[in-house]
Amino acid sequence: MNPWTFYDFLDPRGVNLVRAWLDSLPVKVAAKIDARILYMCTVRMWPEQYVSALKGWPDIFELRVVAAGSQYRPLCYYGPNRGNVTILHGTIEKGKIPRRELEHADGNRRIVEAYPSRVEQHAFRKEPTTGQFQKQ
């Protein structure tokens, strides 16, 4: 059994906003983020270069993924239950994560704590079936 289960934040209509963000990124970048999450599910202690606490935001941390010359930062928290990590919001860091992005993630965290049904298990990208075209 994996030590961690990752979840994605859902909007009020049940739309997976994390998957929508990942699908808006280049395919190789989204695949690298998904691969990192898959790895992190399997190990209890994460390598220091993969995560970072956020000064002034004690309940939120960032996953650190560098791909295609950019710094991708899924913002997460531990919850809603023990052994769970919820991805609250995705952003791209350009020097420093803007305060509004952190406020957005923290607002999503408060929603999940009040309404744990506003998450679903992380949706890994599904490959297209034969004959379908893939957006590059």
When divided into structural domains, the chain yields a total of 1
Residue 56 lies in a domain: yes
8 Å CB contact between 97 and 62: yes
Give the CATH number of the domain where residue 79 resides: 3.30.2310
pTM comes to 0.90
- 79-133 pLDDT, tens digit each: 999 999 999 999 999 889 999 999 999 999 999 999 999 999 999 986 654 445 5
- What pLDDT does residue 83 have? 96
Residue 117 lies in a domain: yes
Residue 31 lies in a domain: yes
Residue spans of alpha helices (H) in 1-136: 17-24, 27-42, 99-114
Residue 129 lies in a domain: no
Per the structure, the complete domain to which residue 52 belongs is given by 5-121
